[in-house]
Structures are given as structure tokens and as C-alpha cells.
Structure 1
């Protein structure tokens, strides 16, 4: 399997991919990703070079967004001063479930973070999806805290505020990396806030 940067022509595939994941989550009783993701926002992240796809021949097996930009209101000023990369929207196709592809993608992201000089690989997960939270703990992440207020709409409840991190580290993830090198969106340094 190979990992590539997503292209704007992948937009409809990625939107359908997310809907497949949302339907599966609904079957499990989770409200995660129950609202459709705005196509223009997804296109902007693709064009920024932060969306990556795992391809297994012609099939899309998984996707991940990896960025140097933290979602506003989640991390403290001290945490933001530490070089970090943030993962979002990690999704594995149901056809490829059970193969530890998510774990391999997390290892790829941690390796990439290490290569750009990041200290941490960080994420925010759905606050009510305890199975997902346990998954990240099993993958070596440490729960930092859960932020429940300050959501995108009128500062209301936040649905994705379970924060976790693990050190960035080199890894043998086994994916053929066909991306354009170690930069992710922009260079990662502790001086970004200065």
C-alpha cells in the first residue's frame, strides 16, 4: 500500500469515504460525524497539502489529515509553544478494517512529525466516542484533558475535544510514501507563535 497527497480530484471520493465512516459509526450508536462535512473546507485542506490517502491498488484504503495548525481553543499557550503536528479525520475503509492500517497511519504521521522536528503528535477525538479514545490509548497516546466548551457554534458544547498526544518518533510503518517530502503545510518550529 502506498500513501499519497490527496488531489482536488479526490474531493468527491473523500466526501463519500467520510459518509461511509459516519454510517458505520451510526450503526455503532455514535453521533460522530453525523453532520456532513463542508466540501469547501475539505477542498481547502486538500489544496493546503495536508490531506493524505492510502491507496491499495485502485482502492482508497484510508485517509488522514496531518497539519501544523491546531484547532483554536483546544491547546494551551505552553502546549502550542512545543513543536507539534496534529492529526485529524483518520478514516479506514470498512474493506480494510482489522488490518491495523490506522495504527500504521499513526506511525507514519509520528515518523513524519519527527522528520520535521516536531516533539509531539497530537489529536482531538470525539468526546463521546469512548471506544475511539481507548483505541488511541492502545496506540500509545496519553490523554491530556477533555475540552467540552467553546465549540464552533456560539461557543457551545464541543464535540471533538478529547485531547491526546504521544512523542513524535521514527517508525517503520510499512507504507510506500509517495508524498512530497517531510514538510506538512509549513515548517514546524516552537517559534511559530513568536
Structure 2
């Protein structure tokens, strides 16, 4: 797999990740991502260089996407936690064609490696509050549950973190070099 920064031309595919994931989750009885996500927010993230597409080849359709940034939601993370150096995983989505291959786990390892490379102490994320299957997935990938927000306006309020660690085991590469990400 290779990882490339998303471009504005990728917006329709990024929105499709969201709608496809929402449809699959609905089949499982989970309301996650049932409301459309504002495209302008995704455009801002693309322009800031924090959205990535994971592909089998540079000219292939994306197998997955992730946003990795320093945007801590103050409704989830305390002031002291926000002062700690951390990177945050957002909008991780894997195409159903790749389910069962732990592509999501490899992406999380890449994110943890990136966090360690920039000197961050933590890799953090939040998950849909009413999706215990997703919570179990993140716990199995080394995350520790920190808290669940009690604010009813926070639907993705299950906050977790794991230490940022360098690794090359994720096998996601840049299309322009043989260097591991």
C-alpha cells in the first residue's frame, strides 16, 4: 500500500467513504455518520495537508483514508491534555473490499509512527459513543479509553489514546520513495 496526500479532486471519493461507511453501519444497527459531513470542513483539511489516501498503486482507487492533525476537541480533552503533544486521528475509513485485512490497524500504526516522528507523546482519537464494536477495535489496537463525554451534543465522545511509537511494521509506503511511513 502507498499513502498520498489527498487533493481537492479526491473530495467526491472522501464523501463516498463516509456514505458507504454509514450505509454499512446502518445495516449493523449503528447510527454512526448517518448525517452528511460538511464538505467545506473536508476541503479545509485537504488544503491543510492533513488528509491522506491509502491506495494499492498511485493510479488505483483509494482503499482507505485518514486525517491526522493536531485538532483536539476541547469538549473531549482537558486543558492539561491539550497541552500535551499529541496527534489526533479523524475520519479513518476503510473500503469494505479491504475488510478483514487489518488495513485500519496498519493505518493506526502509521499514524502512531508519524506522531512519534514529530515528537508527540500521544496518538489520540475519538469514536462514536454508541459504537461498542469500534471501541473494542481500538482497545485491541493498543488504545486506552480515557473518558466518554457526557455532553449530548458530542456524538463521537468516546476518547482514547495510546503512546506514539515509531514503527516500520505498518508497510504503508510513499509512492515516491521506498521509505516507510
Q: TM-score range by the shorter chain?
A: over 0.9
Provide, for residues 40-90 of structure 1, a one-character-per-residue CA deviation record: whole Å limited to 9, x for no partner: 111111111110010123121000000012123210111111100000111
Equivalence for 1:3: 3
Where structure 1 has 5 or more consecutive residues not aligned to the other structure, the ranges are 150-155, 180-194
Give the length in aligned residue pairs.
174
Equivalence for 1:162: 158
Equivalence for 2:113: 111
Contact 1:120 1:167 in 2 (8 A): yes
Where structure 2 has 5 or more consecutive residues not aligned to the other structure, the ranges are 177-181
1:171 Cα deviation (Å)? 1.2
Higher RCO (CA 8 Å, separation ≥ 6 residues): 1
Structure 1 segments (4+ residues) deviating >4 Å: none
Provide, for residues 161-192 of structure 1, a one-character-per-residue CA deviation record: whole Å limited to 9, x for no partner: 1000000001121011359xxxxxxxxxxxxx
Aligned pairs (5 A) from 1:1-194: 1-57=1-57, 58-149=60-151, 156-172=152-168, 173-178=170-175
Contact 1:148 1:159 in 2 (8 A): no
Q: Distance in 2 between matches of 1:85 and 1:60?
A: 23
Tell me the TM-score normalized by structure 2: 0.93
1:131 Cα deviation (Å)? 0.2
Provide, for residues 125-157 of structure 1, a one-character-per-residue CA deviation record: whole Å limited to 9, x for no partner: 0000000000000000000010020xxxxxx43
Q: Distance in 2 between matches of 1:177 and 1:32?
A: 31
1:124 Cα deviation (Å)? 0.7
Q: RMSD across aligned C-alpha pairs, in angstroms?
A: 1.4
Tell me the TM-score normalized by structure 1: 0.87
Q: Distance in 1 between matches of 2:116 and 2:173?
A: 17
Q: Distance in 2 between matches of 1:96 and 1:165?
A: 25
Q: Distance in 2 between matches of 1:157 and 1:15?
A: 22
